[in-house]
Amino acid sequence: MPMNILDKLSISGKIVLPIIEGGKGIGVSNGETAGAFAAAGAVGTFSGVFPQVIDDNGEIIPLIFKGKNRKERFEEIIDHCIKGCISQAQIASDIAKGNGRIHINILWGMAGAERILNGVMESAKDKIHGITCGAGMPYKLADIAEKYKTYYYPIVSSTRAFRALWMRSYNKFSDLLGGVVYEDPWKAGGHTGLTQKDNPDVEEDPFHRVREIRQYMNKVGLEKTPIIIAGGVWYLNKFKDLIDNIEIGPIAFQFGTRPMLTQESPISTRWKEKLFSLTRKDVTLNKFSPTGFYSSAVNNEFLIELKERSKRQIDFRNESDSEFNTAISLKSDAKPIYVKSIDTNRIDEWKSNGFSVGLKTPDSTIVFVSSEKATQIRDDQRNCKGCLAGCKFSSWMQSPETNYSTGEIPDPRSYCIQGTLQNIIQDDNIDNQLMFSGSNVFNFSKDSLFSKGYIPTIKEMIQRILNGK
C-alpha cells in the first residue's frame, strides 16, 4: 500500500500528482493559487474569466470601461481578459519554478472565449500546459489546442456530452486530449451541467456515470486518457471504488471548493470566515443564472431575494380572453394588459408590501419588485458589458447576425453575473452577492485540517488530500 492514496500520473506531458485545482472565476483561482498547486507538484488552474491585469511594477490595472455601448465594452473585456491571463500565467509560472503543471480555465459560455484563448496562447503558450473548458459545448477547443500544441480538457457531466464533442471534433485531435473532466452536476460548485434529463433533486451515483464515460472512451481508443473527477471531492478514501479500478482506468481528482480556504486563496477574510460556518443545507442548486445553466451557490440574501422575486410572479396576456379578463396597467400611460381575476388580490398584497413595480419577463409573466430593485435591474441591464456569449438577463448576444441580441425581452428574474462576481471578490458585502459553492462546503467545519479556524497553505492541503483523509 503506497503512502499516498494516489500514484503520480502523466498530465499535460509531465508526471505529476493527480490533484487538480478547479478553475474559479472571477479571480477566485488565479496565478498565485495555480502557482502554489504547481509548486507542490500538482496541477494549478488559473481562471481566464476577468483575471487581474498586473503591470511591470506589480500594480493592478483596473478595468475602467470607456465604451459607450455593450458592444464596445465587450471589446474592452476581451482585451482585458487577454492581458489578465498573460499576467496570471506569468505569476503562476514564477511561483511554480518548473514544477507541476499550469492550466487555464475558460468558460465557453463567456463572450469571445475563442478570441481570448488565441490571444493568450499566442503570448503565453510556454507557460500554459493545458486548457480546461466548460459551460457549453467547446467543439473548437481541440482546434485551438492543436494550433498551440497544448493539452485540452473538456468539462462534461455525461457520456452524451463527451460523445458529441468527440464525434464532432475531438476525434481528429486525440493526442492532445489531456483528460476528460467529469463534473458531478449535483455536487460541483459554480455552474453545473444538469440537463433536462437529470432530476436536480435526485442525485445519481458518480461511479456509474464515470464508468459509462470510461466505457465509451475505451471504445474510441482513449484507454490511457485520464478521467478527472470533479464535484463533491473532499476525502479521497471515499472514492476508493474509483481508484486503481481497471474498469475506471487512470483518474485524477479536481478540487474547487476546498482550496478556497487556504493561505493563497484571494477571497476576502469575511468570505473565508463564512466558509467555516456553512452547513449542508446552506448550499442549493438554482436556475437564475443569466447563462441558463443550473448553478450551485450558498443560499444567502442574494439568492433568497431572487427566489422571493420569482415567487411574486403571475401570467398575463396582451389581449383579454375568458380567463385573462382583468385589465391592469404597468405604467399610467401604458396599454393595459390582462391578468386572471384571481391574481388581483396577490398583486394588491404585493403592492401594499412595497413591491409596486411590475416587470415583464420573456415567459409572458410579470414579476413584482420594489422601485429600488426595479431601478437596480434596469441600471444593470443598461450597463451590460456583453460578458457572456448569450445573456438572458440583458438579452445581449455575441452575434452581429442577430444585432447582438437574443431576440427575447430581458429577463428581470435573473441578474448580472459579471457585476456580482466582481463585487464578491472585491467587497466585504458577501451576503448580498452570488456566492458560488460546492455542496461539500460543510466539511470546512468538520475537517480537522481546518480545526480552530486554521487556514492551511495549498501545499499542506495537498499533503492532507493525499492521505485520503
Would you tell me which residues interact with ligand SF4 (CB under 6 A)?
290, 384-388, 391, 393-394, 396, 416-419
* Strand 337-339 versus strand 357-360 pairing type: unpaired
The closest residue (CB) to ligand FMN is 256
Using rule CB under 6 A, residue 188 touches ligand FMN = yes
Q: Which does 257 bind (CB under 5 to 8 A by kind): ligand FMN, ligand SF4, none?
A: ligand FMN
The grid coordinates of residue 235 equal: 476525502
Segment contacting ligand FMN by CB under 6 A, of 24-32, 96-104, 340-348, 388-396: 24-32
CA 276 and chain centroid, separation: 22
Task: State phi, psi for 123 to the nearest 5 degrees.
Answer: -100, -25
Task: Please report how close the Cβ of residue 86 comes to ligand FMN at its closest, in angstroms.
Answer: 18
Using rule CB under 6 A, residue 414 touches ligand FMN = no
Q: Which does 461 bind (CB under 5 to 8 A by kind): ligand FMN, ligand SF4, none?
A: none
For 332-431, where are the alpha helices, taking DSSP H only?
344-352, 371-382, 417-426
Task: Please report how close the Cβ of residue 73 comes to ligand SF4 at its closest, in angstroms.
Answer: 8
8 A C-beta contact, residue 108 and residue 293: no
Half-sphere exposure (CA, 13 Å, Cβ side) for 412? 26
Q: Which does 255 bind (CB under 5 to 8 A by kind): ligand SF4, ligand FMN, none?
A: ligand FMN
Using rule CB under 6 A, residue 52 touches ligand FMN = no
Give the span between the Cα atoms of 111 and 384, in whole angstroms: 12
Query: Residue 209 has what DSSP assignment?
Result: H
Q: Which of 92, 107, 113, 116 binds ligand FMN (CB under 6 A)?
A: 107
* Strand 294-298 versus strand 190-192 pairing type: antiparallel
- Supply the DSSP string of 41-92, one letter for each residue: TSEEEEE-SSPPEE-TTS-EE------SSHHHHHHHHHHHHHHHHHHHHHHH
Cis peptide bond N-terminal to 26, omega within 30: yes
In the chain, the amino acid numbered 392 is K
**Per-residue contact flags (x/-) with ligand FMN for residues 215 to 234, judged by CB under 6 A:** ---------------xxxx-
* Strand 19-21 versus strand 251-255 pairing type: parallel
**Per-residue contact flags (x/-) with ligand FMN for residues 432 to 451, judged by CB under 6 A:** ----xxx-x-----------
Give the span between the Cα atoms of 433 and 121, in whole angstroms: 32
3-class DSSP assignment, residue 200: coil
Q: Which of 183, 264, 380, 411 binds ligand FMN (CB under 6 A)?
A: 183
Of 296, 298, 256, 255, nearest to 276 by C-alpha is: 298
Q: Among residues 44 and 419, whose Cβ is nearest to ligand SF4?
A: 419
Task: Please report how close the Cβ of residue 76 comes to ligand SF4 at its closest, in angstroms.
Answer: 11
**Per-residue contact flags (x/-) with ligand FMN for residues 253 to 292, judged by CB under 6 A:** -xxxxx----------------------------------
8 A C-beta contact, residue 225 and residue 179: yes
Q: Among residues 194 and 416, whose Cβ is nearest to ligand SF4?
A: 416
Residues that bind ligand FMN (rule: CB under 6 A) add up to a total of 29
Q: Among residues 93 and 437, whose Cβ is nearest to ligand FMN?
A: 437
Q: Among residues 134 and 290, whose Cβ is nearest to ligand SF4?
A: 290
8 A C-beta contact, residue 48 and residue 120: yes
Neighbours of 64 (CB within 10 A): 7
Task: Please report how close the Cβ of residue 113 comes to ligand SF4 at its closest, in angstroms.
Answer: 13
Binding site for ligand FMN (CB under 6 A): 22-25, 28, 47, 49, 105, 107, 134, 155, 183, 187-190, 230-233, 254-258, 436-438, 440
